[in-house]
Amino acid sequence: MTHPLKTLWDKPSRLVVGLMSGTSADGVDAVLTKITGAGLDTKVEQLGFYFQPFESAARQRILEVAGGSFGGAREVCLLGAYLGKCYADAVRELLRQTGTEKVDLIGTHGQTVWHAPEQTPYLGGTVRGTLQIGDPSYLAEEFGCPVVSDFRVRDMAAGGLGAPLVPYTEFILYRREDADVALQNIGGIGNVTLLPAGCRLDEVTAFDTGPGNMVMDALVTRMTAGKLSYDDGGRLAASGRVIPELLGWMLTDPYLEKKPPKTTGREYYGEDYVRALLARGDYPVVDVVATATAFTAESIALSLRRFAKRMPGVLVVGGGGSRNPTLLRRLQEALPECRVQTQEDLGFSSDAKEAAAFAILANEAVFGLCNNAPSATGADHGVVMGRVNL
């Protein structure tokens, strides 16, 4: 019998599914791609996209487990199996909609339930770790192809922060010889990638800028007693008033000062952060939503001012935050010298982009190619990230 990976290597191009479920815990982004080549010669064609939202009870459970105040081994085990099945549901529907019988490979990010990139005191010493759940075995079992998962841990073992991972794929797909490229993703967390004209991989700068939608989402959920989970179209923020003293306090955040490489998550901008924010004063929650929206914009602008070698001419925004016009307007106001555009303005898809990154990272992994960007994660060297289920 031919080794399953040998079969993949011999194909001129491969049908690869990429799956992403981010820290917003909104649902699963599933993309079908056709990938030709590998490494710097990779070409990607997008054949279909499907978003499957989580049931609201499941989202609640994910947020509780990821909040660290709920769930032991039993919960993590059951949630991991539940999510593995959700991923399989999403892929089944994606294949049905695109009329696809068989795929060659799946790359799945999994759901981050804990991310501790800094040395954390534990058992008399310190450790760092990251945990993504959503069992890839269900995908391997149903779709009968290799599945690559658990990317972040290997970068961490090599001394990196295990994040951000998309800069490697952005370097392959977006780098230009004649112009600087700046890409800002606004998911639960915000992250930016700076690709100077003609740069090498080790010249890529990328880091988490701070919260993306995470703080706004938590405030909206609280304000509407769970009826809404995000500020649709930025309408609430537009109807509120930015509270200068509260914004001023948010901008004293030490994370913003910290030099890259750096990464953050729900452990920092989750429940405790929102509680501390609300404890600053008795403000109307809609004004706090407006202020949190302004903070996301300001933290992105500050990150570019502090850490970009030169201000990019254009900042291309992707992720769910690109659907929030109030946020985009604030971002443009905070960066008058830079044109703020969305992936959609350039004819790409914000949602599919992050999922497609995991299709590409999986493709690299099965070819045994290093697929981290050490200048972005801080890893000591390049490594092949991802565990392979055959």
Ligand X SMILES: Nc1ncnc2c1ncn2[C@@H]1O[C@H](COP(=O)(O)OP(=O)(O)O)[C@@H](O)[C@H]1O
Residue 84 contacts which entry, Mg ion, ligand X, none (Cβ below 5-8 A, type-dependent): none
The answer to whether residue 231 forms part of the interface with ligand X (CB under 6 A) is: yes
- With contacts defined by CB under 6 A, name the span among 23-31, 112-120, 295-303, 335-343 that binds ligand X: 23-31
> In residues, how long is the chain?
390
Per-residue 3-state assignment (H helix, E strand, C coil) for 274-322: HHHHHCCCCCCHHHHHHHHHHHHHHHHHHHHHHHCCCCCCEEEEECHHH
Q: Within 194-213, which residues bind ligand X (CB under 6 A)?
A: 213
Q: In angstroms, what CA-CA distances link 266 with 63, 114, 193?
A: 9, 8, 20
The answer to whether residue 18 forms part of the interface with ligand X (CB under 6 A) is: no
Please identify, using beta-carbon distances, which residue of 24 and 132 lies nearer to ligand X.
24
The answer to whether residue 136 forms part of the interface with ligand X (CB under 6 A) is: no
Report yes or no: 377 and 155 within 8 Å, Cβ to Cβ: yes
Residue 110 contacts which entry, Mg ion, ligand X, none (Cβ below 5-8 A, type-dependent): none
The closest alpha carbon to 243, from 201, 200, 281, 206, belongs to 281
The answer to whether residue 240 forms part of the interface with ligand X (CB under 6 A) is: no
The answer to whether residue 267 forms part of the interface with ligand X (CB under 6 A) is: no
Please identify, using beta-carbon distances, which residue of 237 and 383 lies nearer to ligand X.
237
Backbone angles phi, psi at 82, to 5 degrees: -55, -45
The answer to whether residue 26 forms part of the interface with ligand X (CB under 6 A) is: yes
Q: Which amino acid is at 289?
A: V
The answer to whether residue 324 forms part of the interface with ligand X (CB under 6 A) is: yes
Cα separation of the two ends of the chain:
14
* Angle of helix 325-334 versus helix 285-307 axis, rounded to 10: 40
The answer to whether residue 233 forms part of the interface with ligand X (CB under 6 A) is: yes
Neighbours of 215 (CB within 10 A): 24
Please identify, using beta-carbon distances, which residue of 188 and 378 lies nearer to ligand X.
188
- The number of residues that bind ligand X (CB under 6 A) is 19
Least distance in angstroms from the C-beta of 276 to ligand X: 20
The pairing of beta strand 13-20 with beta strand 387-389: unpaired
Least distance in angstroms from the C-beta of 238 to ligand X: 11
**Cα torsion 332, 334, 337, 342: sign:** negative
Please identify, using beta-carbon distances, which residue of 86 and 158 lies nearer to ligand X.
86
Give the integer Cα–Cα distance in Å for 261 and 206.
7
Least distance in angstroms from the C-beta of 232 to ligand X: 5
The pairing of beta strand 189-195 with beta strand 125-133: unpaired
Q: In angstroms, what CA-CA distances link 176 with 173, 300, 308, 317?
A: 9, 22, 17, 17
- With contacts defined by CB under 6 A, name the span among 11-19, 77-85, 98-106, 313-321 that binds ligand X: 313-321
Task: Give residue number: closest CB to ligand X.
Answer: 320
Give the integer Cα–Cα distance in Å for 270 and 276.
10
- Which residues form the interface with Mg ion (CB under 5 A)? 22, 24, 26
Neighbours of 195 (CB within 10 A): 24
Residue 364 contacts which entry, Mg ion, ligand X, none (Cβ below 5-8 A, type-dependent): none
Give the integer Cα–Cα distance in Å for 103 and 114.
30
Please identify, using beta-carbon distances, which residue of 136 and 318 lies nearer to Mg ion.
318
Residue 233 contacts which entry, ligand X, Mg ion, none (Cβ below 5-8 A, type-dependent): ligand X
Token duo for residue 333 = 């106001």
Give the integer Cα–Cα distance in Å for 110 and 62.
12
The answer to whether residue 323 forms part of the interface with ligand X (CB under 6 A) is: yes
Least distance in angstroms from the C-beta of 328 to ligand X: 10
The answer to whether residue 226 forms part of the interface with ligand X (CB under 6 A) is: no
The answer to whether residue 228 forms part of the interface with ligand X (CB under 6 A) is: no
The answer to whether residue 110 forms part of the interface with ligand X (CB under 6 A) is: no
Please select the residue that binds ligand X; options are 110, 162, 188, 240, rule is CB under 6 A. 188
- With contacts defined by CB under 6 A, name the span among 74-82, 161-169, 201-209, 315-323 that binds ligand X: 315-323
Please identify, using beta-carbon distances, which residue of 350 and 389 lies nearer to ligand X.
350
Please identify, using beta-carbon distances, which residue of 26 and 150 lies nearer to Mg ion.
26
Residue numbers at the binding site for ligand X (CB under 6 A): 22-24, 26, 187-188, 213, 217, 230-234, 319-321, 323-324, 354
